[in-house]
Amino acid sequence: MVRLLAPGGSLEMARTAIDEGADVVYVGPLGYSRRPYESEMNDADIRAAIHYARAQGRELLIVLNTYPSPFELPRWLTKAQMFADFGAAGFVVTDVGALHALRRLLPKTTLHVSIGSGICNARDTDFYRSLGADTIILPYRWDVAEIAAARSASDIALEVFLFETVQTGKICPGKCIMSSYLRFREWLEVENQTSFHGSANRGAKECYRVCQAAWQFGRDDAVPIDLKLRRDARLMLEQLPRFVAEGVTCFKLSGRERPVPMIRDLVRFYRKVIDRVLAQADLLDEYTEELAELRLRWVREKSKRVDTLMDRAASYAV
């Protein structure tokens, strides 16, 4: 079975994604999912989203992919139990110890390994399978050969983002703490957290996307060059049939921070593309024009978002 996973950055977005045909919607509780508070949800909204998804025969995943503080872990597990009791289908998790503890607490739940784990090779997927993970999301950097290797390494289900492969660049998320080195801020009241100080990786603070800002680079004695630290990934189309053939069963649409109409259109688009691929029709040429327009919208919205985050970063004390 191949499934389309879509973001729920708000209750409205979660409902929209389900209406447009997402099989699974993922949402993040306030302070637990590496996003600013406006792209996370309070517990009441999560409960409502779970009920809405279940009523339509769909599933809701809870993103608990921060690296919790050791002091926070008991509360983190209590939260997870509460969402399971609400009817959540599973969790997206990063921390090895938290994943292991969650598997013991909820033996029948579904556990997805987050992109924040920063895996590098097929043996990594095997490691997480040994801990009891059911599904692992693969890095943007991986193409068909890496997927095939992961398929051979264990029986863990494979998930990919709907982005084209970008094989260079700094490994983020999973191996990056640049943002919190440069800027930090305290918790906001709405985030309902005070127990420890953290960073984007830990839920408390947003990642300011410093890698996507303008930098100057070079030797001390040379004229610097202007650049960004990472290349942008483009929305995927052509790779999709090959990935399905290699055994990818979950295709994940990013974008909890994007506007709801953009997510609506993207879920609608990828629903029909995936259905076409599953119907054994590999010719996707008729979708290229529509994809081009969506790619433009994606880049435009991403650029606005980076500007907003950098402005916020500049406003916080070091």
Partner 1 sequence: MFELSTDVCNIKTLKNEDLSAYDAIYLGDFSCPEYPNNFSSNPKQLKKGLDLVKSHDQKAYLRLYAVPSNHDMPWVEELIDTAMDLPFDAFEVHNLGLLRVLQEKKCTIPIHLGVFGNLYTHETAKVLKQYGVTRVYPNPELSLKEITYIADNTPIEVLLPVHGKIPLVISETCFIMEHTENTKLCGNNKCNFPCLEDHWLKRGRKDGSSNDWSLKDTGRMTLSGKDLCLIEHADQLSSAGFTAFYVQNKGEAEGYASKVGHIYRTALERAFAGDSGIDCAPWLAELDALSHEGLCNGYYFEGAGQRYFGRA
Task: Tell me if 175 contacts partner 1 by CB under 8 A.
Answer: yes
DSSP category for residue 190: G
- The distance from CA 156 to its chain's CA centroid, rounded to whole angstroms, is 18
Query: What is the contact mask toward partner 1 in residues 74 to 113, using x (rule: CB under 8 A)?
Result: --------------------xxxxx-xx------------
Q: Please identify which residue in 2, 48, 144, 178 interacts with partner 1, judged by CB under 8 A.
A: 178
Which region among 23-31, 223-231, 256-264, 282-290 touches partner 1 (by CB under 8 A)? 223-231
Q: Residue 69 Cβ, how far from partner 1 at the closest point, in Å?
A: 6
Task: Tell me if 229 contacts partner 1 by CB under 8 A.
Answer: yes
Task: Tell me if 312 contacts partner 1 by CB under 8 A.
Answer: no
Q: Which residues contact 261 (CB under 8 A, 6 or more apart)?
A: none
Nearer to partner 1, 169 or 259 (CB): 169
Nearer to partner 1, 221 or 285 (CB): 221
Task: Tell me if 145 contacts partner 1 by CB under 8 A.
Answer: yes
Give, in order, the Cα–Cα distances in Å from 90 to each of 12, 85, 114, 253.
21, 11, 12, 17
Q: Residue 139 Cβ, how far from partner 1 at the closest point, in Å?
A: 10
d(CA 170, CA 193): 30
Q: Please identify which residue in 189, 220, 286, 289 interacts with partner 1, judged by CB under 8 A.
A: 220
Task: Tell me if 30 contacts partner 1 by CB under 8 A.
Answer: no
Nearer to partner 1, 214 or 279 (CB): 214
Q: Residue 173, preceding bond cis, omega within 30 degrees? A: yes
Q: Residue 306 Cβ, how far from partner 1 at the closest point, in Å?
A: 13
Element (H, E) at 54: helix 43-55
Q: Which residues contact 182 (CB under 8 A, 6 or more apart)?
A: 208, 210, 313, 318
Strand boundaries in 31-133, DSSP class E: 59-64, 90-93, 110-113
Q: Assign 166 to helix, strand or coil.
A: coil
- The distance from CA 6 to its chain's CA centroid, rounded to whole angstroms, is 10
Task: Tell me if 194 contacts partner 1 by CB under 8 A.
Answer: no
Task: Tell me if 227 contacts partner 1 by CB under 8 A.
Answer: yes
Q: Which residues contact 85 (CB under 8 A, 6 or more apart)?
A: none
Q: Residue 257 Cβ, how far from partner 1 at the closest point, in Å?
A: 21
Task: Tell me if 126 contacts partner 1 by CB under 8 A.
Answer: yes
Phi, psi of 197 (to 5 degrees): -100, 140
Query: What is the contact mask toward partner 1 in residues 265 to 304, using x (rule: CB under 8 A)?
Result: ----------------------------------------
Task: Tell me if 206 contacts partner 1 by CB under 8 A.
Answer: no
